[in-house]
């Protein structure tokens, strides 16, 4: 198995691939992100100290176009397990196609967070903002599209703005910090361009905006940004920003909320806040690989993966184990 992992949540993404591969008897070559390579070195040292036999776990450093492409196309690799952007996932699948190997992908997302009329509105909006901005927004499952009843748009935007302004942006080494910097200059520039695009396309900026927070004059720090009265056709509602930027979209009926939630090329995760029975009934209608109801905690036994351009295959629990196995049918008589 070739494993290609991302720079965000990097050690988690390594562990959730290596563990099931080991458990099912696979040998593996890991290529971590060239942006965050050192945690993989520590992981390799741990594997060696644990006594994993030589040649079972292998680490190769390098970039995607060079090392990643070589692994994906190599005839001795039976499977590629990839986590990263949809753009890179397409390139991996294309490189793997000539050797007809299995490709397991966990890609991007643009996750909806539907707040029903039955929800504890203030608490649900506040929690949605915090979940969106976790890890400085650099999470594939971030609920970046908040869907609220149209008649409560002003209330939602006010609550969201208050939550965003209260967040402390600063050094990760400072215990008071809520949001650290984003990963790189390229990531910072992309986020800034998309914030500017949101303003240009007519979304209502209610918190944050372009540039760094006023107390920081250097570093890749992004202002926690909230847009209200966003339409689902705007760029900020279509593209994965991968930064602390929230879009609030209004809906008139649950039917419309479901339609908006599903109107995306992605399908990694979705969230619903409200009466548990209503939320559960709605969950089955969302085209997403995982749906969390009322801020439910992460469950590592639940399958994780996407629909549509968010990928294929599943990680975690027994579903993650099955991805690293092949089915063999044997027919015959034992007494022959």
Q: CATH number, domain at 81?
A: 3.40.605.10
Q: Do both 237 and 91 map to the same domain?
A: no
Q: 2-18, pLDDT tens digit by residue?
A: 999 999 999 999 999 99
Q: What is the pLDDT of residue 336?
A: 67
**Total-model pTM:** 0.95
Number of compact structural domains in the chain: 2
Residues 106, 163, 240, 315: which is the catalytic one?
Answer: 106
How confident is the model over 97-155, as pLDDT tens digits?
A: 999 999 999 999 999 999 999 999 999 999 999 999 999 999 999 999 999 999 999 99
Confidence class of residue 67 from pLDDT cuts 50, 70 and 90? very high
Q: Confirm if 50 and 18 have CB atoms less than 8 A apart.
A: no
Query: Does residue 225 form part of some domain?
Result: yes
Q: Indicate the average pLDDT of the chain.
A: 96
Q: Is residue 329 part of a domain?
A: no
Clarify whether 140 is annotated catalytic: yes
Structural domain includes residue 145: yes
* Closest by CA position to 101, among listed 78, 83, 82, 81: 78
Residue 301 lies in a domain: no
* 250 and 162 within one domain: yes
- pLDDT computed for residue 280 by the predictor: 97
| 70 inside domain | yes
Q: pLDDT value at position 335?
A: 82
Helix axes 276-283, 254-262, angle to 10 degrees: 40
106 carries an active-site annotation: yes
Residues 227, 312 within the same domain: no
- pLDDT at 228 > cutoff 70: yes
Query: Is residue 216 included in any domain, yes or no?
Result: yes
Given the residues 26, 132, 140, 315, select the one marked as catalytic. 140
Name residue, tokens 């914030």.
195
Rg of the chain taking only CA atoms, in angstroms:
21
pLDDT of residue 334: 84
Domain match, 135 and 20 both: no
Of residues 214 and 335, more confidence is placed in 214
* Residue 300, in any domain of the structure: no
Q: Are residues 64 and 188 in the same domain?
A: no
Range of the domain at 120: 112-293
- 40 and 142 in a single domain? The answer is no
Contacts 24+ apart (CB under 8 A), 63-72: 63/34, 64/4, 64/34, 64/88, 64/91, 67/31, 68/4, 68/31, 68/92, 68/95, 69/95, 71/2, 71/4, 71/29, 71/31, 72/2, 72/4, 72/96, 72/103
- What is the predicted pLDDT for the residue at 58? 98
Chain segment 231-286, per-residue pLDDT in tens: 999 999 999 999 999 999 999 999 999 999 999 999 999 999 999 999 999 999 99
DSSP 251-319: ESSHHHHHHHHH-SS--SEEEEES-HHHHHHHHTTS-SSEEEETTPPP-TTS-B--SGGGEES-BSHHH
């Amino acid at each position: 198995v070739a494993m290609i992992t991302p720079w965000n949540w990097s050690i988690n993404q390594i562990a959730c691939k290596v563990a099931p591969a080991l458990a099912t008897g696979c040998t593996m070559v890991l290529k971590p992100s060239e942006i965050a390579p050192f945690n993989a070195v520590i992981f390799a040292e741990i594997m060696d100290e644990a006594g994993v036999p030589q040649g079972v776990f292998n680490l190769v450093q390098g970039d995607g176009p060079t090392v990643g492409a070589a692994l994906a196309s190599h005839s001795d690799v039976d499977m590629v397990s990839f986590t990263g952007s949809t753009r890179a996932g397409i390139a991996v699948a294309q490189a793997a196609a000539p050797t007809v190997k299995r490709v397991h992908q966990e890609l991007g997302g643009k996750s909806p967070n539907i707040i029903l009329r039955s929800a504890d509105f203030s608490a649900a909006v506040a929690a949605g903002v915090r979940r969106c901005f976790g890890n400085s927004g650099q999470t594939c499952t971030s609920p970046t599209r908040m869907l609220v009843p149209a008649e409560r748009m002003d209330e939602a935007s006010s609550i969201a703005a208050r939550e965003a302004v209260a967040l402390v942006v600063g050094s990760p080494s400072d215990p008071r910090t809520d949001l650290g910097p984003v990963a790189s200059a390229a990531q910072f520039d992309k986020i800034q361009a998309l914030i500017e695009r949101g303003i240009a396309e007519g979304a209502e900026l209610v918190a944050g905006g372009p540039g760094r927070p006023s107390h920081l004059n250097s570093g890749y720090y992004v202002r926690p940004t909230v847009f209200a009265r966003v339409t689902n056709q705007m760029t900020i509602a279509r593209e994965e920003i991968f930064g602390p930027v929230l879009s609030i979209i209004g809906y008139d009926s649950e039917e419309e909320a479901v339609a908006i939630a599903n109107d995306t090329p992605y399908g990694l995760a979705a969230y619903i806040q409200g009466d548990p029975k209503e939320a559960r009934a709605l969950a089955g209608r969302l085209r997403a690989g995982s749906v969390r109801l009322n801020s439910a905690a992460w469950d590592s036994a639940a399958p994780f993966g996407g629909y549509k351009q968010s990928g294929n295959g599943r990680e975690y629990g027994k579903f993650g184990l099955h991805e690293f196995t092949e089915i063999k049918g044997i027919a015959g008589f034992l007494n022959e």
